[in-house]
Amino acid sequence: MRSLLTVLRDPVAWVLVIAGVVELLSGGTAARGAILFAGAALILADRVRISLGSIGAATPPLPAAPLQRAVASTRWIAPVLIAALVVPFFEVHTMPTTAVVGFAGVLAVGWAWLTEPGGPAGAAAPWRGLLVWGGVFLALGLWELRALLGQPSLDETSYDSPTISYLLEPVLDTYAGRAGALGLWILAGRSLIKRS
Amino acid sequence: MSNRDITLLGYALIVSVGLILGVVSHQTRFLARVGDVFEWILGTRSGRIALFAAWAWLGLHFLG
């Protein structure tokens, strides 16, 4: 019972739960809320796995290296380029786009859960960097929340209190904007996998 | 100054600070690069899963 309570103490999981609740309250789709709740659930499941280490389930079952080698090679370029050029023919928030982005997202989160981090174990935390960069992202998040709360309602966008999503709408309404955004998102994911 | 102007100014200010810090972190050792911070987070089990969930959410939020 005591180890179960320890499992529930992970603050990262609760940040994801709160983000998921805000997402749903602000009119987000179930898929967007679900990916955040799934992340929280997997973190808690991971804690359970670690706490059960004494019966041989402490480490994730799969090696990270095969996917890391694949995204570092040129093999990934052709399929990703095709996806980045074909998917933007569809509007954002339509079934084909949601399916492709959601599929990639679920695969990536699952991969992160099923594999062991490759970095040096117990490396010293870059505290100053964590605080400063964390502060920048927190400020952006709080400013976005301020804009969200300034709307007539949480799920009704406003010209007077624009959120980042609202400001990006004209860009994402074009094929080039969608292709660029999808390309950047894919490259960010590739970078996360390579650095893991 | 309208609320829209203040909101846009806030975004511009935060992004500018981020860009300046990015330059500072590349030219000095005073501040870790944002990539190095992400790399450290990716070295922790919870942070790794959370970063990939945040990445997936960003894709679904803006595109999916």
Smallest Cβ distance to B64: which of A31, A46, A128? A31
CB contact B10 to A (< 8 Å) = yes
Query: Which of A43, A59, A75 is the last residue before a domain boundary?
Result: A59
**Cα B34 from Cα B21, distance rounded (Å):** 9
Residues A92 and A172: beta-carbon distance below 8 Å: yes
**Mean predicted confidence (pLDDT) in B4-22:** 97
Nearest CA in chain B to A163: B7
Asked if residue A50 and residue A73 are part of one domain, the reply reads no
Q: Give the three-state DSSP class for B63.
A: coil
> How many Å lie between the alpha carbon of B35 and the closest alpha carbon of chain A?
9
Q: Kindly report the pTM of this predicted structure.
A: 0.90
3-state DSSP percent of chain B in helix, strand and coil, to 5 = 80, 0, 20
The rounded average pLDDT for each run of 10 residues, N- to C-terminus, in chain A (196 residues) is: 69 90 85 92 86 65 85 86 92 92 94 83 84 96 94 90 95 96 94 91
Asked if residue B64 and residue B41 are part of one domain, the reply reads yes
Beta bridge partners of A62: A115
Asked if residue A110 and residue A81 are part of one domain, the reply reads yes
String of DSSP letters for B18-47? HHHHHHHHHH-SSS--HHHHHHHHHTSHHH
Nearest CA in chain A to B60: A32
| Residue the block writes with tokens 């959410």 | B57
CB contact under 8 A, B49 and A15: no
**Cα A146 from Cα A140, distance rounded (Å):** 10
- Domain containing B22 equals 1-30
Smallest Cβ distance to A16: which of B35, B50, B58? B50
**Mean predicted confidence (pLDDT) in B10-31:** 95
Report the pLDDT value the prediction gives residue A142, as an integer from 0 to 100. 95
Report the pLDDT value the prediction gives residue A196, as an integer from 0 to 100. 85
**Mean predicted confidence (pLDDT) in B3-9:** 96
**Cα A31 from Cα B61, distance rounded (Å):** 9
Asked if residue A101 and residue A68 are part of one domain, the reply reads yes
Report the pLDDT value the prediction gives residue A60, as an integer from 0 to 100. 74
Report the pLDDT value the prediction gives residue A139, as an integer from 0 to 100. 97
Report the pLDDT value the prediction gives residue A119, as an integer from 0 to 100. 67
How many separate domains does chain A show? 2
Asked if residue A171 and residue A118 are part of one domain, the reply reads yes
Alpha helices in chain A (DSSP H): 2-7, 11-25, 30-51, 65-72, 77-86, 95-114, 127-149, 164-172, 175-195
Asked if residue B61 and residue B45 are part of one domain, the reply reads yes
Asked if residue A170 and residue A89 are part of one domain, the reply reads yes
> How many Å lie between the alpha carbon of B14 and the closest alpha carbon of chain A?
6
Report the pLDDT value the prediction gives residue A118, as an integer from 0 to 100. 77
Dihedrals phi, psi of A115, to nearest 5 degrees: -125, 160
Asked if residue A23 and residue A110 are part of one domain, the reply reads no
Residues of A in contact with B2 (CB under 8 A): 160
Residues B52 and A145: beta-carbon distance below 8 Å: no
How many separate domains does chain B show? 2
String of DSSP letters for A93-106? TSHHHHHHHHHHHH
Report the pLDDT value the prediction gives residue A37, as an integer from 0 to 100. 94
Asked if residue A151 and residue A96 are part of one domain, the reply reads yes
CB contact B31 to A (< 8 Å) = yes
- Greater pLDDT, B64 or B42: B42
Asked if residue B19 and residue B40 are part of one domain, the reply reads no
Asked if residue B26 and residue B36 are part of one domain, the reply reads no
State the CB neighbour count (10 A cutoff) for residue A193: 22
- Domain containing A85 equals 62-196
Residues A43 and B49: beta-carbon distance below 8 Å: yes
Band of residue B41 on the pLDDT scale cut at 50, 70, 90: very high
Asked if residue A21 and residue A72 are part of one domain, the reply reads no
Report the pLDDT value the prediction gives residue A185, as an integer from 0 to 100. 95
Query: Which of A41, A59, A77 is the last residue before a domain boundary?
Result: A59
Asked if residue A43 and residue A95 are part of one domain, the reply reads no
Report the pLDDT value the prediction gives residue A56, as an integer from 0 to 100. 55
Beta bridge partners of A153: A156
Report the pLDDT value the prediction gives residue A191, as an integer from 0 to 100. 93
Arithmetic mean of pLDDT over chain B: 94
